[in-house]
Structure 1
Amino acid sequence: MASSLRQTTRFAVFGVPMGMLTRALEQTPRPITLPYLLAQGGRPGEPPTPDVILRSAKYTQQELPVRLARRVRQFYSLPFIVGTNPYIQEVARLYASSFEHLSEIKPIETLEDNDHFVNELQKLVDDHAEVVPTLSRGFMECGEYMDSVKITNFLNAALHSRIGIRIIAEQHLALTATAKSSRNTDEMSPVRLTPTSVGIVDTEMAPADVIRQSSEYVRALCEATFEMAPEVVLEGQVDARTMGIPVHLDYVMTELLKNAFRATTETFLAARQAKKGPATITPITVTLASTPSHVSVRIRDAGGGIPPESMAHIFDYAYTTVKSGGEDANSAGGEDITDVSAGAMQSSMGTLAGLGYGLPLSRLYLGYFGMSSLDIVSLWGHVRKAHD
């Protein structure tokens, strides 16, 4: 017996038995699409039935270990000196542990089985909340040991997969929560069921509502950092509707607006110190335009644009033009930015200067379903006036 146990644990990857990992790697993950999520989740605005919950649970239980196993293999393929970095090791072992825990759960056959499963699923979501900043620390420390193109390719694959894992997990958690709250009206659901929603998907998402919510949050950050903030003006087809995941749009808009708020405010303060420029801070204008096939969102700010030498790097991971002290660095890491997390929290609410992952992650979120894109146009040196 002891000999058998040693045999099964001798060959392991980040603590996971090799045989368990190999079996999962023999399977292929199924593509995630919005229509598929809707078809699996029931009718919009209606609480999921027990059959829907069990179908979603079985799909989630089958799909997540396959995706987690591929991430474990991806971390195992890193160069030795990179893979032994403590931050990267931490994330790799987290993926391995999550894979092992989910793989060992017995097949879900009843709603009681699902209750146990969602507890493990919620733990996975919570445990993986800090994966991005932890990875960013690791790769900043290992930049000299791995080609920047290879780092970008690794992170694109890892973070794209992370989005898919979270979509699957959060969709099932949302369906289960709304089903429970419909059976027990005294139980508060963390997910609000609307007449147009199916789990985390909204079939009639209003981008303007999401943008207003993001704007309020970023405005509070900006005021806490600079003691002032520009207004956000919404214009165009503000009643536009589209199918999407509101939390994804909220993330993207928050990241883009953080950049716009910071640049606009810093440019205004510099002009005021030089005793030139407008007397009041210029608003940020967000324009919505709707067609039968898509909704476009355009953000215009008075931040003076992006320096030409920085434009080629704006989608590079960990690239930022902000030092931990707040001034421009035009650096992708190194001596100007010694602690990316400190730079993100340079004041009590200083997330205006983020990890340098905001734009590349935003592009991944928008492009996940292959239907959206993110384009940045810079008018370097142009300071937009209120009437522009």
Structure 2
Amino acid sequence: MQRQRRTPPWRPSVILDEWVQRESRPISLRQLTFFGRTLTESRLLSSANYVRLELPTRLAHRLRNMQTLPYAALTNEHIAHVYELYYRAFELFRKVPAIHNMDDNDRLCEVLRTALTDHLTVIPRLAMGILEIQDSVSGDECDRFMTTLLRSRISRRVIAEQHLALTETFHSPWHFDGKKSSVAPEDEFVGEIFLKCNAREIVEKCAKRARELTAKAYGPKVTIPKIILQGHLDTTFPYIPSHLEYILGELLRNSIQAVVEQTGSSNPPPIEVLICEAAQQVIFRISDQGGGIDREILPYLWSFAKGPRRNKRLKNLGQVPRLAATMEELQLPPSVPDQTENEQSGERFGSSLASLSSRPPDLRLGIGLPMSRIYAEYWAGSLELHSLEGYGCDAFLQVSRLGNKNEVLSTRAAMDGV
């Protein structure tokens, strides 16, 4: 039964209308890199003013999207929770005055950190909400709504976290105003962007984490399949590591669990990861012999809202918001990277991805693949999966090698939905 809450508070729409009329200004990894590589005070202040205008603009469009939902959906406990979070953030950001100096910028950074922490529960609450509102909103519409909000959420976190990271760089002892040496030679980061993501190292890191989590879940009597890497193993490219690690982590977790559950033997077949470097893209192919995907689930593979096991998914999602609240609350095995390693991979300000990717293997949420596809497509990549029933799966992840593609933003909200 869908849980209800009190009537959402009334707010005037005039201010929101003004911000909805603004267009978002898309960015690319290459633009972010060039902008942050030669970091001066004037550039940092320019970034701050972009952030203080862009975040409320993108929030306004998503608030208008939520206002177009049927009233019964908007009063759902989880949807209402997200709506209130978004509106508070919108009010907070739109009232930030123009940034003229570093003190102004530092105050903005405090606002950004607060908002990033407050919004760590958005993903699981949205997922629960759309599973509960299906009496008033169709499954297809729920999927479009979820995709739009998650894509926008990624964009806002990229903008906020990139500016916070650039501010840290500017205040660091090795920074020289306006010099290219503002990129620390030991980490090759420009803000949140790692200029030399190594394909082999990222796969190995994700494989290690996925194998450890699976081993912990299934016990010492189960043999975890090996991961065999092939292809262009020294390929490097600019990317945000936490995005790539989430996608590859989900794919490897799925393959490892499928093989373990399919074979249950002491000699499971290995999982093969092939890395292919082309002129403009890098392709990862993950192949397993885990029996393929259940034909009951296959038609709904990329859906947040449709498919069987709805009650089980709701129950499991209910255990995630608390885990996503802070990094310190995560109850992870000792072998899972700690906060220091998260910082080295770009997760410097806390991430709900960390809690989702490190959840116990038996906590199946039904959102891993569709979320992974949204992350892949955000920087103009793609994610496809081919299943051979009774044999196994091949997953194909394609990412831009040059970082020159603009972020894929959702279309602006319609003005006629109030």
* TM-score, scaled relative to structure 1: 0.81
Q: Is the 8 A contact 2:313 2:365 kept in 1?
A: no
Mapping of residues 308-323 of structure 1, within 5 Å: 308-318=295-305
Question: Given the superposition, is the C-alpha separation of residues 353 and 301 from structure 1 closer, same or farther in structure 2, using an over 3 Å criterion?
Answer: farther
- For 2:372, the equivalent position in structure 1 comes to 362
Letter in 2 for 1:65: P
- Give the match's secondary structure for 1:377: strand
- For 2:32, the equivalent position in structure 1 comes to 37
The yes-or-no answer on 1:27 pairing with 2:29 is no
Q: Distance in 1 between matches of 2:134 and 2:210?
A: 31
Question: Given the superposition, is the C-alpha separation of residues 305 and 100 from structure 1 closer, same or farther in structure 2, using an over 3 Å criterion?
Answer: same
- For 1:249, the equivalent position in structure 2 comes to 244
Q: Aligned to 1:212, which of 204, 213, 216?
A: 204
Shift of 1:310: 2.5
Shift of 1:26: 1.9
Q: Is the 8 A contact 2:259 2:289 kept in 1?
A: yes
Q: Distance in 2 between matches of 1:248 and 1:331?
A: 28
Question: Given the superposition, is the C-alpha separation of residues 317 and 109 from structure 1 closer, same or farther in structure 2, using an over 3 Å criterion?
Answer: same
Q: Any unmatched runs of 5+ in structure 1? A: 1-12, 186-190, 273-278, 320-329
Question: Given the superposition, is the C-alpha separation of residues 99 and 151 from structure 1 closer, same or farther in structure 2, using an over 3 Å criterion?
Answer: same
Letter in 2 for 1:297: F
Mapping of residues 81-230 of structure 1, within 5 Å: 81-182=72-173, 194=186, 196-227=188-219, 228=222, 229-230=224-225
Question: Given the superposition, is the C-alpha separation of residues 337 and 35 from structure 1 closer, same or farther in structure 2, using an over 3 Å criterion?
Answer: closer
- For 1:65, the equivalent position in structure 2 comes to 56
- Give the match's secondary structure for 2:62: helix
Shift of 1:143: 1.7
* TM-score, scaled relative to structure 2: 0.76
Q: Distance in 2 between matches of 1:198 and 1:315?
A: 33
Q: Distance in 1 between matches of 2:51 and 2:227?
A: 40
Q: Distance in 1 between matches of 2:388 and 2:127?
A: 29
Question: Given the superposition, is the C-alpha separation of residues 57 and 194 from structure 1 closer, same or farther in structure 2, using an over 3 Å criterion?
Answer: farther
Q: Aligned to 1:287, which of 271, 274, 298?
A: 274
Q: Distance in 1 between matches of 2:30 and 2:106?
A: 26
Q: Distance in 1 between matches of 2:138 and 2:20?
A: 27
- For 2:415, the equivalent position in structure 1 comes to none
- For 2:360, the equivalent position in structure 1 comes to 350
Query: Identity of paired residues, percent?
Result: 31
- For 1:325, the equivalent position in structure 2 comes to none
What CA deviation, in whole Å up to 9, does each residue of 1:42-70 have, x standing for no partner? 34xxxx32222112111111110100111
Q: Is the 8 A contact 2:293 2:392 kept in 1?
A: no
Q: Distance in 2 between matches of 1:144 and 1:34?
A: 40
Q: Aligned to 1:379, which of 348, 365, 388?
A: 388
Q: Aligned to 1:331, which of 308, 311, 327?
A: 308
- Give the match's secondary structure for 1:144: coil
Shift of 1:15: 6.2
What CA deviation, in whole Å up to 9, does each residue of 1:235-254 have, x standing for no partner? 21110112222111011011
Greater displacement, 336-345 / 156-165? 336-345
Shift of 1:197: 2.7
Structure with higher Rg: it is: 1
- For 1:8, the equivalent position in structure 2 comes to none
User: How many residues in Structure 1 have an aligned counterpart in Structure 2?
Assistant: 342
Greater length-normalized contact order (CA 8 Å, ≥ 6 residues apart): 2
What CA deviation, in whole Å up to 9, does each residue of 1:274-325 have, x standing for no partner? xxxxx41222221111112111101112211113343221001156xxxxxx
Q: Is the 8 A contact 2:214 2:256 kept in 1?
A: yes
Letter in 2 for 1:295: V
Q: Distance in 2 between matches of 1:157 and 1:241?
A: 30
RMSD, aligned CA = 2.5
Shift of 1:19: 3.0
- Give the match's secondary structure for 1:41: helix
Q: Distance in 2 between matches of 1:356 and 1:32?
A: 30
Q: Is the 8 A contact 1:42 1:52 kept in 2?
A: no
Q: Is the 8 A contact 1:41 1:56 kept in 2?
A: no
Letter in 2 for 1:217: R
Q: Distance in 1 between matches of 2:101 and 2:17?
A: 28
- For 1:237, the equivalent position in structure 2 comes to 232
Letter in 2 for 1:71: R
Question: Given the superposition, is the C-alpha separation of residues 236 and 207 from structure 1 closer, same or farther in structure 2, using an over 3 Å criterion?
Answer: same
Question: Given the superposition, is the C-alpha separation of residues 136 and 280 from structure 1 closer, same or farther in structure 2, using an over 3 Å criterion?
Answer: same
Q: Aligned to 1:259, which of 254, 258, 261?
A: 254
Q: Is the 8 A contact 1:315 1:359 kept in 2?
A: yes
Q: Distance in 2 between matches of 1:304 and 1:98?
A: 45
